[in-house]
Amino acid sequence: MEHNSSVHSNKRDRTAGSTSVRANSRSGRSAEVPDGFLLPLANSSELAVELRIRIARGDWIEGEKLPSVRRMSEETGLHRLTVYKAYNRLKDEGLIESREKSGYYLTVPRRPAETGFGSVQRFRSPEQSENESPGAEAPQPALLGELHSVECRYQFSQALIDPLLLPNSYLSEEAKHVFDLYPRVLGTYAPLQGDEELLNVLRRYMSETCGFVPEGQELLVTSGGQEAIHLTCEALVRPGDAVLIEQPSYSVAIEMFKHRNARLVPVDIHPDGYRMDEIEALMRRHRPVLFYLNPTFHNPTGWCVPAEQRKRLADLAETYNCILVEDDAFRDVYFDTPPPPPVYSYDTAGNTIYIRSFSKYVFPGLRIGCLAARADLMRRLLTAKARSTGGTPLLNQKVFAHQFQSERSRRHLHKLRTALQLRKEAMEKALEGSGWTWHSPQGGLNLWIKLPEGISPQRLLADALGSGSGEDTISFVPGSFFDPESRPDPHIRLSFSMLNERRISEGVALLRAHAEKQGFR
């Protein structure tokens, strides 16, 4: 998200006011969003998060003084003690320093354009050294997008398909063919709901693979699954609303709901699914507006919720008037047998929004996704779509429609499943004897791994990225990124989809070596 205002431009006069957005009065939060901030703020934790984001995007330069406690209190509407606590959090993380009788100053370098957005060195305290105690936590990138943008040799953080596994030359030729079929394709917009040709293709696909057919106007084409989640937030969530969300969960969705000032209520997910009595108790107690869930080859764990629980979820949603937002990004990436039907297929009351993304494994550059919803929900989602993009690019839709269900595409998907299964097995083999534990997934792109006691995922990430040599740097995602409450977590997510078997073995061996060194400190 781009922001036009920033505190480091403090030479201008701010006294005239600041950008404001009204918050829901029942949230009890400030009704104003201070200039340069994303949302109304309620406590020191939220202020600290916002300040980390602004530091990461370069709102201040190294050595620059931050606004005083008094001034920050005035700009945010927070008590001075709340601001003081937030500043001291950043101080403890090594991002800022306090100077006696002077104030707080940024200690990390501003992002240099030539080093990329995710340069992890700017998150490391100057005082950090090899002699630090094992319990000390190393600062880490504030957002998953930053971590993904860090250049490294062994890329285990991105749950994306290796481009070498895609039929790139074929896709290029077929894209050119679309211009012959539709010479005016660049001369017009697509309908708001989507190109009718693609909508028909998606209806046939869902009939074949999902057990339902969206009727009439119940299907909307989006620019990937991420836009579909964003539209759902915009259409349904107000500040202070309770939202059930899995723990762990997709980190981008967590960020979106937090930026809507939703009140997140974690729901534990296990290898065998949910504890349904827990979900019912949470729905009864919190009366959530929605439950965001990822039941099929769950991100990050890879677990798959059984069919009987999916049916029960649809029943609970109807009983407690809770909307289920089912994110189904990995349905086609299975290794043995197809997964159970979506929750949407069990819903007879219209309480489910079904989100499909094809960006992970089918023509990623086209960014095609869709969502299905009954008429009353769809009207609200279409309003949000009209206010945001106004429609998904027509060229992308035409290219996707012509190739998605072709025989060539079907053969490619079959080969892709085999290649990904081989890469998963290579990663599991490389982890043998490590003492690390995981549940082997039957689909998806990730391993969710629990590290032995005494190994810090944050410190391991800092060591793996900050080793000083571009030849052996490694990225992965610490478990805390997937926690709705951002708590420390002993897990890490390793994605096996971006590297071939040989490089997976090399990268895992190096990562294990870093962990062993940490264990001896």
- Considering only residues 292 and 5, tell me which one the structure prediction assigns the higher pLDDT: 292
* DSSP 8-state secondary structure symbol assigned to residue 65: B
- Alpha-carbon span 158 to 131, nearest angstrom: 31
Place of tokens 């791994």: 449
CA dihedral 230, 57, 472, 436 (to 10 degrees): -50
* SS3 label, residue 464: helix
Phi, psi of 267, deg, nearest 5: -125, 120
Residue whose C-alpha is closest to residue 123's, from 93, 83, 81, 82: 93
Instruction: Using the predicted structure, report yes or no on whether residue 455 has a pLDDT greater than 80.
Output: yes
Give the confidence band of 131 by pLDDT, cuts at 50, 70, 90.
very low
- Considering only residues 4 and 193, tell me which one the structure prediction assigns the higher pLDDT: 193
Collect all residues with Cβ–Cβ distance below 8 Å to 42 and sequence separation of at least 6: 27, 28, 29, 30, 261
> Could you tell me how far CA 134 lies from the centroid of its own chain?
29
Residue whose C-alpha is closest to residue 450's, from 470, 468, 436: 436
pTM of the shown model: 0.74
- Alpha-carbon span 461 to 494, nearest angstrom: 12
Place of tokens 């991002």: 95
Residue 256, both tokens: 């979106």
Looking at residue 170, its pLDDT comes to 79
pLDDT in tens, 5-29: 333 333 333 333 333 333 343 333 3
pLDDT in tens, 346-381: 999 999 999 999 987 878 888 999 999 999 999 999
Q: Which residues of 48-65 are buried (b: 16+ CB within 10 A; e: fewer)?
A: bbbbbbbbbbbbbeeeee
* SS3 label, residue 155: strand
Residue 71, both tokens: 């001034």
End-to-end distance of the chain based on CA atoms, in angstroms? 39
- Beta-bridge partners for 329: none
Residue whose C-alpha is closest to residue 497's, from 147, 163, 143, 150: 163
> Could you tell me how far CA 114 lies from the centroid of its own chain?
25
CB atoms < 10 A from the CB of 123, how many? 25
- Alpha-carbon span 260 to 40, nearest angstrom: 9
pLDDT in tens, 456-493: 998 999 899 875 455 689 999 999 999 998 888 999 99
- Alpha-carbon span 170 to 289, nearest angstrom: 45
Looking at residue 18, its pLDDT comes to 36
- Alpha-carbon span 510 to 474, nearest angstrom: 8
**Do 64 and 105 meet the contact criterion of CB atoms below 8 Å apart?**
yes
Phi, psi of 216, deg, nearest 5: 45, -115
Place of tokens 């915009």: 234
**Do 344 and 352 meet the contact criterion of CB atoms below 8 Å apart?**
yes
Give the confidence band of 63 by pLDDT, cuts at 50, 70, 90.
confident
pLDDT in tens, 425-442: 999 999 999 999 999 999
pLDDT in tens, 305-325: 999 999 999 999 999 999 999
Instruction: Using the predicted structure, report yes or no on whether residue 30 has a pLDDT greater than 80.
Output: no
Looking at residue 124, its pLDDT comes to 42
Looking at residue 145, its pLDDT comes to 62
Residue 300 amino acid letter: P
Place of tokens 């063919």: 177
